[in-house]
Structure 1
Amino acid sequence: MNEINNILYITGAGVSEESGIPTFRGKDGFWKIGSKNYTPQEMATRRMYKENPEQFLSWYYKRFAAYRNHGPNKVHHWLANKNLITQNIDGLDGKAGNQNYIAIHGRLDQMTLFHTQGDNVATQQAPWDSVDETSLTESLLEVFKISLSTRKPMKSQSFKPYVLLFDEYYTELYRISEAQQRMIDADKIIFMGTSFSVNITQMALEIAVTQNKPIEVVDPYPVRIPYENTTYHRMKASEYIERAD
């Protein structure tokens, strides 16, 4: 049998769990804990950012930016020279040295001007270390250039965290065309630490099925896929890479 050279890895929150970052749907996951008045599914929306940016930014800071100084684990380092699309916004693959991975849902360490979806905008470093936690809400509004009088973001003036929200869609800002092409070009797709609950994994699965590509699922509790050409590895990604080497 010919050796498979072009392998695409698609990773989810399970890969970063060993770096001390909660998964999304675990006991203490990001989508289990909301704010005082809103669920995470209500918080992580463009609508919330537009209508109540102080609630949105405070929640985002506490649930995501609090982990900004965590470091990559051995799985991230193993993936550093691999063809990689990650659903994670933690930026740990970049810290591990992967220079060309696609962060399909954005990156915690970056932000953009607030813009209409689909507009061509650049990313820039998010100034999380400038935030004063003693007056968190006011400081976040100031850092993200949101008027303290109107308390509403303004397009092309205010900033927004570089993150794809529930009520947003994939655009070229998130390198969606390149991601799709990587899926099409891959000889095999390996999913690691993902629950298959977001659109990007369904997109990859559909391409694999259509083109009859082999896939592998690496997860201690893998989601069963209705596709025969699937191999399951009931283990953590850290265990898998030890066997793969």
Structure 2
Amino acid sequence: MNKENTLFITGAGISAESGIPTFRGEDGFWTIGSRNYTPMEMATRHMYQQQPEQFLAWYYNRFITYRHHAENDVHRWLADKNLITQNIDGLDGKAGNKNYIAIHGRIDKMTLYHTQGEPVEVIDAPWDQVDDQRLNQSLMHLFNIKNTPTLNESYKPFVLLFDEYYTDLYRIDEALSRMEQADKMVFMGTSFSVNITNMAMDIAMRNEIPVEVVDPDPVILPYAKVKYHKMRATDYIQHHD
């Protein structure tokens, strides 16, 4: 059994078996852009501000079409664990985890468009009201955007974009606290290519706690106290019940 202070940190590989593409695989979200822009250009606050119609249509087609996918055995196994996920699909919540941290946001939520760092409520996103026959106009209407977003009037998907930073909206202070209190960290299905995994590894090395990496092709980390499990998360959980 895992100790209560083992912290699990998950990435896109966890949801691949639910039929959701990873971010950097051959068919990943970050390999498929719009007609004129790369994913790294599309998934930005700048694009939302300057070309909200294109941003919302791209976001809807790349992410929201997966909103009805179901959780898998790994999500269910993690349901009672101390968990931080990089995933925005919300499947850990569907699996029953009541207090996981979705450090990059969730596709089923939105917020008022606000200056980062200001307190704001996270509310349900109206995806089921979208008219696919008039997609762009429908999205602009539902997010209360005329030509460009208006602060504290328009809405923005609850997702951390490339040119944004972690704030209390994404529970960053609580995430860092969980890292500091952990006596072990287990990384599952992550490529270690985002800031949150770097933060976690810095804390793990400073506190000299053991780390486990679960991935068929794991990133090799510059730390002596790492145990690698070169397997899928579904295989890992079968040996750790």
TM-score normalised according to structure 2 size: 0.99
Cα-to-partner distance string for 1:45-98 (whole Å, 9 max, x where unaligned)? 000000000010000000000000001000000000000000000000000000
Q: Shift of the alpha carbon at 1:216? A: 0.2
Question: Aligned match of 2:208 in 201, 209, 212?
Answer: 212
Cα-to-partner distance string for 1:177-230 (whole Å, 9 max, x where unaligned)? 000000000000000000000000000000000010100000000000000000
Aligned to 1:18: 17
Letter of the structure 1 residue corresponding to residue 183 of structure 2? D
Aligned to 2:166: 170
Letter of the structure 2 residue corresponding to residue 160 of structure 1? K
Mapped to 1, the partners of 2:5 and 2:213 lie a distance apart of: 17
Q: Shift of the alpha carbon at 1:160? A: 0.1
Mapped to 2, the partners of 1:126 and 1:220 lie a distance apart of: 35
Aligned to 1:190: 186
**What CA RMSD, in Å, does the superposition of the two structures yield over aligned residues?**
0.7
Alignment of 1:159 with 2:158, yes or no, is no
- What are the residue-to-residue correspondences of 1:101-116 with 2, within 5 Å? 101-116=100-115
Letter of the structure 1 residue corresponding to residue 50 of structure 2? E
Letter of the structure 1 residue corresponding to residue 55 of structure 2? F
- What are the residue-to-residue correspondences of 1:84-103 with 2, within 5 Å? 84-103=83-102
Mapped to 1, the partners of 2:93 and 2:3 lie a distance apart of: 25
Aligned to 2:73: 74
- What are the residue-to-residue correspondences of 1:38-57 with 2, within 5 Å? 38-57=37-56
Q: Shift of the alpha carbon at 1:5? A: 4.1
Alignment of 1:179 with 2:178, yes or no, is no
Verify the 8 A CA contact 1:68 1:109 in the aligned structure 2: yes
Mapped to 2, the partners of 1:242 and 1:20 lie a distance apart of: 20
TM-score normalised according to structure 1 size: 0.97
Mapped to 2, the partners of 1:208 and 1:176 lie a distance apart of: 16
Mapped to 2, the partners of 1:127 and 1:69 lie a distance apart of: 14
Verify the 8 A CA contact 2:4 2:81 in the aligned structure 1: no
- What are the residue-to-residue correspondences of 1:228-239 with 2, within 5 Å? 228-239=224-235
Percent of aligned pairs with the same amino acid? 65
Q: Shift of the alpha carbon at 1:6? A: 1.2
Verify the 8 A CA contact 1:144 1:158 in the aligned structure 2: yes
Q: 3-state SS of the aligned residue for 2:108?
A: strand
Mapped to 1, the partners of 2:211 and 2:54 lie a distance apart of: 40
Aligned to 2:6: 7
